[in-house]
Structure 1
Amino acid sequence: MTFTQFSLGALALLPLLAAALTMLLPHPVRRALGVLVALLVAGFTAPVLGSVTSGELTELVLGGFDAPLGIHLRGDGLAAVFLGVTSLVGVVVTGYAAVLPKSTGAHLSATSWVTSHPGFWPLWLGCWSGLNAVYLSGDLFNLYVSLELVGLTAVALVAVGGQSAWEPALRYLFIAVLGSLMFLAGVGLLAAVTGTLDLHQTRSQLDELEDPTLPLLALTLITVGLAMKVALLPMHRWLVPAHSAAPSAVSPILSGVVIKAALVVLLRCWLWALPAVPGMQWLAWLLGGLGVAAVLVGSVLALRQDRLKPLVAYSTVAQIGYWFVAFPLLLHGEHDGAPLGSGAYNGLVALAAGHAIAKAGLFTAAGFLKDRCGTDKMSALRGAGAHHPVLILAMGMCAVGLLGLPISLGFTGKWQLATAAVGAEQWWVLLVVAAGTLLSAAYLLRGIAPLLLQAEVPENAPAAGPVRGRERLGEIAVLIFGVATIGTGLLGAWLGDLLEVGAWW
C-alpha cells in the first residue's frame, strides 16, 4: 500500500474516529483535537492532490474484497478538487470555531439535550468524514451511506443553533429523509436491473440492456432525490431558514461544502454510471429550465431581504441554478476527441468549487457581524465597515468570485460554461449568465453597501466598536477565504487538466 492509498482511507476514517473521541473530552481539549484533526486531514489531502496533478488515478479497496462486494475508494480529478476545497474550508472554519467558541452555539443556555451535549465538534468532524467518503466512494451503496452521514450531521449542526433553529432543522430533516428515500429507491431499482452497485460495472451492464425504461426511471428517482438535497428550486424552501438560523461557524459549512456532496453524487450518477440511458435528454432540459428559474428567482428574493444571512442564503439558491444550467450541455456530441460536454462539466465544477470558497467567506463574515453586533439586519449594521476594514475587503473579494469577475474561479467557470454553450449553439445560456451576473451585482451591493455608509448609531454601540483580541482572528479567517477566492482563479487551466484524470470520457 502506498502512502497515497493510505491517505484515501485516512481521509474517510480519521475524522469519524476523532468525532467519536471528542464526545468524551472536555471542551478545551475538544477544540484542540478538532484543530489537530483538521490539519491532519489537510495533510492527507496533499498526496491525493499531488497524485492527480501528475495524472495518476489512485484507488483503494478496503477489506481486500473487490467490486461489487468491497468498499472501493477512488481518488480521481473530481474527488481531488472537492477534497482540496473541503480541506480549505474545513481548516479555516475549524480555526474560526476554536478561536471564537460563540460561533459554534456554545454560548446558548444548556437547557436541552441539543445544547447540553458536546454538539459542534463531533458533528462537524462526522460531517467532514462523510463528505470525504462521498467524494471518494466508487459504488452507489457507499455513496448512499456517506450521503446519509453528511445529511444527518448537517441537520444536527443546524439544531445546535438553539430553539430558534429547531424548526428549520426539522424541515431540513424531512427534506433530507425524503430525498434519501427517493435516491435509495433509484439505487435499488438500478441494482435490480444491473445486478451491481459499482459505478463502472453499472455502466457496462447498462450497455447490454435493450429496454431503457427501468434505468431511466432509476435515474429520475436518483436525480429528484439529490436535487432536493442540493436545494434546486422549487425544492429550496428548507435551505434559507436552515442556513440563516445555524450558528455562524455552521453556515459556511452548510452552504460551502455540504450541498456540494449531493452535487458530486449527481455528477457521478449522470456521467459515470448512467451516461448512455436513452431518454435522459428530457431530464437534462428539465434540470436546465429549473436552473434558469433558480438563477432569476433566487436573485430577486435575495434583493428583497433586509437581513444579511438570508440574503447570502438566497444567493446560494441563485448560484445553484448555474450548476444545473450546465446539464443540457453535458449531453452534446464530440469535438476533437472529447465531448463538448466536457467544457460544461469543467465549468460546472469550477463554479461549484469557487462558490464553496466565496460563500464560506460571506457566511463567515455575516455570522461574525451577527455575533458581534447582536443582529444581522442591514439597517442596524450601517457604518460597521468603519471598524471592520479587513472584513469589508475580504467580503468584496468573495463577492468578486460570486460575480464571476476576472481572475476568480467563478470567472473561469462562467467562461467555460459560455464557451460550451457557444460550441453547442445554445445561446440562451449566455443570456442567463449575463442576467444572473447583473442581478448578483445588485444583491451583493445591497448587502455590502450599508456597511460602508456613515453610521446612524451611537459611537458606543456594538456595531461601531473596534475589533480587539481574538476577534481579529475571525476577520483573518474571512480574509483567507477572500484571498483564496481570487487565488484559485489563477489555477483555472490547471483545474481542467486535473478533472481529466479519471473523467468519464
Structure 2
Amino acid sequence: MTWAQFTLGALVLLPVLTSALTVAAPRSREGQRRLGAGLGVLTAVALVALMVPLLWTVTVDGDVIELALGGYQAPLGIHLRADGLSVAFLALSVIVGGIVSVYAAAMPQAIGHRRFWPLWLACWGGLHAVFVSGDLFNTYVGLELVGMTAVGLVAIGGRDSWQAALRYLFVAVLGSLLLLLGIGLLVSVTGTLDVMQIREVLAGSMDQQRPAVVLALGLITVGMGLKVALMPFHAWLIPAHAGAPSAVSALLSALVIKAPVFVLLRLWLWVVPQGEDLRFLSLVLSVLGATAIIAGAVLALRQSRLKPLIAYSTVAQVGYWFLFAALIGGASADSLTGMPGADVTEDEVISSAVVGTVALVLGHGVAKAAMFLAAGFLKDLYGTDEIARLRGVGRDHPGLVMAMGLAAVGLAGLPISLSFSGKWLVTTSAVATGEYWVVGVIVVGTVLSSAYLVTAIAPLLVESEDEGTAVELPKWQLDHTPALTQWAPLVLGLLTVGTGFLGAWLGGLLEVGAPW
C-alpha cells in the first residue's frame, strides 16, 4: 500500500474516529466541549497533512489513486477511487472545513451546542466518503451520513431551529429514497454497483435498456436537486442555513450541499453516456438552474437581514451549477458546425463546461464560508443580523467587512476570483454550442448578485443617521472578542481572491481520470 492509498482511507476514517472519541469520552459538558474543540483542530491539521501525498500523486504524477479495502476487488469489495474531480472537492473540504473548525474552537457560541463536534466530525467523514467512493452503494451510505448529521447540526440551534431541521430531514430522506431507486435501476440493468464498471457496460450496445437508464438518471437527479435546494425545491434551505449557528451555516452552505453536486457530476459525466434521449432532461435541468439564478437573486434583494440574504444567495448560486446540463447536451459535432469556435471538438467543449462548473462550485464554497462566518460573528456579537441596525459596524471591524467584500467579489463572479474563471469557461462553452441564452442568464445574474451584495455590505460601512437604531457595544466587549474569530473570515476572503489564479491548474487537475 502506497502513502497515497493510505491517505485515501484515512481521509474518511480519521474524522469518523475522532467523532466517536468525542461521544465516548466520559466528561462534563464543558470537558466534552473542550475535548471536541481540541480533537476538531487536531483533525483539521491531520487532514491537511494527509492531503499532501494525495495532491502530489494526482496533480504531479497524473495518476488516479485506487484502493480496494481488505483486498476485495469490485464489484464485491469496498472500492475507493480518487481522480481529479475527487481531489478538487477533497481540497475544498479540507481547507474550508479546517478553517471553520478552528473558528468554532475559538468561539464556542458559534456552534450552539456541545454536540456540534461529534456531528460535524462525522459529517466531515461522510463528505470525504462521497468524494472518494468508487461504487454507488457507498456513495449512498456517505450521503446518508452527511444528511443525518447535517440535520442534527441544524437542530442544535435551539427550539427555533427544530422545525427547519424537521423539514430538512424530510427533504433529505426523500432525496435519498430517489437516489436508492435510481441506483437499484442501474444495478438491475448493469449487474454492478462499481462506477467504472457501470460506465463500461452502458458504453456498449444497450439500446433496449436505455429507457431504464434514463429513468434512473432522472430519479437520481431529482433526489440530488432536493438535497442541493435547486429551485423550486429550495424552501427548506433558507430557515436551515439562516437559523443555524454561525459555524454550522458556513459548513452547510460551503460544504454539505456540495456532496449532491459531486454525485450529479459523477453520474452525468462519468457514468451515463450522453445521448439524444437526455436532451429533454438536460433542458429542464438547465432551465431550473436559470430560474434559480434570477429568482434567487431577486429574493435576496428583498431581505433586510444578513443571514437570510446570504442563504438566498446560495439558492441563486446553485443555479449556475446546473447550466452545464444545457452545454453537454448540446455539445455534438453537428451543433458545433458553423458556430463561433467551431474549430474546437466536442470533448473540448464538454471539458470547458465541466471545469467552469467545478470552478463555480469551489469558488462558492470558499466565498460563502467567509460570508456566513462574518455575518454569524456579527449576529453572535451584537445579537442581531438586521442590516439597518448594523450600520457602521465596519468602524470597529474593518477586517471583517473587508472579508465580506472579498467574498462578495467571488460570489458575484468578478475578475480575480475562481468564480470569474468558471463563468468565463461556461460562457465560452455556451457560445461554442450556440446556447446564447446561457450567456444572457449569466450576465443578468452577475448584475443582480452584485446588487444584493452591495445592499448587504454598504450599510456596514456607513454611519447610522439615527443614533437610536445602531447597535453599540461596550469597548471592553469589543476588546475581548477573540482575534482568531475575525481572522478566519479574512483568510477565507483572501483565498476567494487568491484561488482566482488557479483556473489553469484546475483544468489540468480535472483531466486526470476524465472520461472525455
TM-score range, shorter chain: over 0.9
Map 1:282-301 to 2 at 5 A.
282-301=280-299
CA RMSD of aligned residues (A): 1.5
What amino acid maps onto 1:228 in structure 2?
A: L
User: What is aligned with 2:206?
Assistant: 209
CA contact (8 A) 1:248 1:367 kept: yes
The equivalent residue for 1:239 is: 237
- In the aligned structure 2, how far is the partner of 1:339 from the partner of 1:149? 36
Match of 1:158 among 148, 154, 158: 154
What is the TM-score with the length of structure 2 in the denominator?
0.93
Deviation string 1:310-357 (CA, Å, 9 cap, x unpaired) is 000000000000111121112313634734111110000000000000
| 2:485 corresponds to 1:499 | no
Q: Distance in 1 between matches of 2:81 and 2:366?
A: 24
User: How many pairs are equivalent?
Assistant: 494
Q: Which residue of 1 aligns with 2:128?
A: 132
Say if 1:214 and 1:277 are closer, same or farther in 2 by CA, change over 3 A. Answer: farther
Is 1:32 paired with 2:32?
no
Match of 1:261 in 2: 259
Q: 2:431 maps to what in 1?
A: 422
- How far, CA to CA, are the matches of 1:182 and 1:252 in structure 2? 27
2: CA distance, partners of 1:96 / 1:64: 39
Deviation at 1:382, TM superposition (A): 1.1
1:63 alignment partner in structure 2: 70
Whether contact under 8 Å (1:387, 1:465) holds in the other structure is no
In the alignment, the residues of structure 2 paired with residue 284 and residue 462 of structure 1 have an alpha-carbon distance, to the nearest angstrom, of 52
The DSSP-based 3-state class of the residue aligned with 1:23 is helix
In 1, are the aligned partners of 2:382 and 2:471 still within 8 Å (CA)? no
Q: Give CA deviations for 1:369-393 in whole Å, capped at 9, x if unaligned.
A: 0000001111111111111100011
Cα pair 1:386 1:464 within 8 Å, conserved: no
Give CA deviations for 1:453-505 in whole Å, capped at 9, x if unaligned: 11344688239887324432111000010010001111111110000001111
Check whether the contact 1:105–1:161 (CA below 8 A) recurs between aligned residues: yes
Amino-acid identity (%)? 53
Match of 1:355 among 343, 352, 364: 364
Matches within 5 A, 1:37-48: 37-48=43-54
The one of 182, 185, 192 equivalent to 1:189 is 185
Of the three residues 471, 483, 487, the one matched with 1:476 is 487
Distance 1:193 1:339 in 2: 30
Q: 1:378 aligns with which of 377, 387, 404?
A: 387
Aligned partner (choices 220, 223, 226) of residue 222 of structure 1: 220
Could you list the per-position Cα deviations for residues 83-131 of structure 1 after superposition, in whole angstroms to 9, with x for gaps in the alignment?
111111111100000000000003xxxxxxxxxxx41000000000010
Amino acid at match of 1:446: T
Spell out the pairing of 1:37-186 with structure 2 (5 A cutoff).
37-54=43-60, 55-106=62-113, 118-186=114-182
State the match for 1:112 in structure 2.
none
* CA deviation vs aligned residue, 1:276-297 (integer Å, no higher than 9, x gap): 4551111111000001100000
Distance in 2 (alpha carbons) for counterparts of 1:318 and 1:268: 22
Cα distance in structure 2, aligned partners of 1:204 and 1:83: 26
CA positional deviation for 1:429: 1.1
* Distance in 1 separating the partners of 2:278 and 2:347: 20
1:74 is paired with a residue whose SS is strand
Deviation at 1:67, TM superposition (A): 0.7
SS in 1 for 2:388: coil
Alignment correspondent of 1:114: none
Equivalent residue of 1:380, what SS? helix
Choose 16-25 or 1-10, whichever is displaced more.
16-25
Structure 2: 5+ residue stretches without partners = 26-31, 334-343
Give the match's secondary structure for 2:257.
helix
Alpha-carbon separation, structure 1, partners of 2:154 and 2:374: 18
The residue aligned with 1:110 is: none
Tell me the SS of whatever aligns to 1:338: helix
Runs of at least 4 residues of structure 1 off by over 6 A?
463-466
User: How far does residue 240 in structure 1 lie from its aligned partner after superposition?
Assistant: 0.6
C-alpha distance in 2, partners of 1:245/1:477?
Answer: 21
1:279 alignment partner in structure 2: 277
Aligned counterpart for 2:351 among listed residues 342, 348, 360 = 342
CA contact (8 A) 1:82 1:135 kept: yes
Q: Decide which of 453, 457, 466 is 2:462's aligned counterpart.
A: 453
For the residues of structure 2 that align with 1:59 and 1:383, how far apart are their CA atoms? 53
Q: Is the 8 A contact 1:387 1:464 kept in 2?
A: no
Mapped to 1, the partners of 2:222 and 2:467 lie a distance apart of: 48
> Given that residues 97 and 103 in structure 1 are in contact (C-alpha distance below 8 angstroms), is that contact kept between their aligned partners in structure 2?
yes
SS in 2 for 1:59: strand
Are 2:13 and 2:125, in contact at CA under 8 Å, matched by a contact in 1?
Answer: yes
Asked if residue 21 in structure 1 is aligned to residue 21 in structure 2, the reply is yes
1:402 to 411, 427, 435: 411
CA displacement, residues 423-463 of structure 1 (integer Å, 9 cap, x when unaligned) = 11111111111100000011001111110111344688239
Structure 1 match to 2:2: 2
1:275 counterpart SS class: coil
- Aligned pair in 2 of structure 1 residues 233, 464: CA closer, same or farther (>3 Å)? farther
**Counterpart of 2:513 in 1: which secondary structure?**
coil
The gaps in structure 1 that reach 5 residues or longer are: 107-117
- Separation in 1 of the partners of 2:375 and 2:498? 22
User: 3-state SS of the aligned residue for 2:235?
Assistant: coil
Q: Distance in 2 between matches of 1:423 and 1:41?
A: 40
Please identify, of 25-34 and 459-468, the stretch whose mean Cα deviation from structure 2 is larger. Answer: 459-468
Closer/same/farther in 2, CA of residues 388 and 464 from structure 1, 3 Å limit: farther
Tell me how far apart the structure 2 counterparts of residues 417 and 240 of structure 1 sit (CA, whole Å): 27
State the alpha-carbon separation in 1 of the partners of residues 484 and 197 from structure 2: 49
Give the SS at the match of 1:73. strand
Aligned to 1:485: 496
Q: Alignment partner of 1:462: what SS? A: coil
